[in-house]
């Protein structure tokens, strides 16, 4: 009898212990779960740390090294924002030199947004086609349309930094101004998205390639940023306004024969034709055998 009582007591104790352990485990697991979620969701904006870039010759380019003889293509990044554009760049676009990809990949990029009219249409088309893209946002535009930036992020696109002001006169007067405007853009993005990491992938307004920007490229690398230009485009910032058919045509011409495409497009307020032709551009690229990816994976 006494033994049975002791046994029951022991059983009760055991049950309590098991319940306590299970509860503790559940608390720990849910905590890990939250952590995992945060970890998975943040790389979309906090570009993963890039250690090095492999080149064609299999040598390794460290972030703060400058590599000559990059892949060069002649394109223009013309009028993007009527209000801030003060110089017109008609030089060469460059991509980091690296091993040629085995498969066809297209990286769609949209600069100068978010905007109230164009960006939501772009997002809708991307969602419809189940394609992820990279948005090089402007801090000042994100401040105007924080909800649209959040939507870009929540839809799983990569958020890159295209400076806060896009004011050529200011950003290209000294490398310090450039870096400070990049940092201001980064702070704006982080504040809106409630994050505090580094928005590592940036795009220079007008492209990083002009010779006179050497000190700016070095400053960007020294501060841990990876800048990327483009090797194909739809021409939505080249000279006069283009209609949908002209944009598609330009994309087909500039992408021909290339395995990897970093495509320059714009979601500024005047670029509705870009949004309207995006579906056809995606269908063309899909039918040509390209898969789509975001630029954080370019450096893999």
Measure Cα distances from 53 to 13, 57, 189 in Å: 59, 11, 26
**267 touches Zn ion (CB under 5 A):** no
Letters for 187-206 (x = contact with Zn ion by CB under 5 A, - = none) are: ------------------x-
CA distance 206 to 201: 15
Confirm or reject binding of residue 113 to Zn ion (CB under 5 A).
no
Residue 192 is given by DSSP the state: H
Would you say 88 or 259 has its CB closer to Zn ion? 88
Judge whether 279 and 147 are in contact, CB under 8 Å.
Answer: no
Q: Could you confirm whether 111 is annotated as catalytic?
A: yes
- Respond yes or no: is residue 266 known to be catalytic: yes
CB of 111 to Zn ion, least distance (A): 4
Pattern 74-103, binding to Zn ion, x per CB under 5 A? ------x-----------------------
- CA nearest neighbour of 142 among 86, 81, 186: 186
Shortest reach from residue 273's CB to Zn ion, in Å: 17
φ/ψ of residue 293, rounded to 5: -150, 170
Q: What is Dmax (Cα atoms) for the chain?
A: 98
3-class DSSP assignment, residue 23: helix
- Contacts with Zn ion, 199-238, as mask; x by CB under 5 A: ------x---------------------------------
Least separation in angstroms between residue 80's CB and Zn ion is: 4
Sign of CA dihedral 254, 256, 258, 262: positive
Question: Does residue 112 belong to the site contacting Zn ion (CB under 5 A)?
Answer: yes
The residues that touch Zn ion, with contacts defined as CB under 5 A, are 80, 111-112, 205
**Active site residue ranges:** 111, 266
């Amino acid at each position: 009898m006494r033994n049975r009582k002791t046994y029951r007591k022991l059983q009760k104790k055991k049950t309590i212990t098991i319940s306590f352990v299970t509860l503790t485990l559940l608390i720990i697991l849910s905590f890990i779960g939250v952590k995992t979620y945060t970890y998975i969701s943040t790389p979309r904006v906090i570009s993963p740390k890039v250690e090095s870039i492999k080149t064609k010759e299999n040598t390794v380019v460290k972030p703060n090294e400058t590599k000559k003889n990059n892949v060069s293509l002649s394109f223009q990044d013309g009028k993007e924002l009527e209000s801030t554009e003060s110089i017109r760049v008609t030089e060469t676009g460059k991509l980091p030199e690296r091993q040629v990809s085995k498969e066809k990949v297209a990286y769609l990029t949209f600069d100068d947004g978010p905007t109230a009219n164009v960006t939501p249409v772009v997002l809708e088309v991307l969602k419809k086609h189940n394609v992820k893209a990279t948005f090089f946002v402007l801090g000042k535009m994100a401040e105007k349309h924080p909800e649209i930036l959040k939507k870009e992020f929540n839809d799983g696109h990569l958020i890159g930094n295209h400076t806060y002001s896009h004011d050529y006169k200011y950003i290209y007067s000294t490398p310090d101004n450039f870096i400070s405007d990049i940092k201001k853009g980064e702070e704006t993005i982080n504040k809106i998205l409630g994050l505090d990491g580094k928005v590592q992938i940036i795009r220079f307004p007008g492209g990083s390639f002009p010779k006179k920007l050497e000190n700016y490229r070095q400053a960007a690398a020294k501060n841990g940023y990876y800048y990327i230009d483009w090797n194909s485009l739809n021409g939505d910032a080249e000279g006069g306004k283009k209609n949908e058919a002209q944009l598609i045509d330009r994309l087909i011409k500039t992408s021909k024969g290339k395995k990897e495409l970093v495509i320059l497009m714009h979601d500024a307020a005047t670029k509705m034709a870009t949004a309207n032709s995006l579906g056809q551009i995606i269908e063309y690229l899909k039918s040509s055998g390209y898969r789509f990816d975001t630029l954080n994976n370019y450096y893999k």
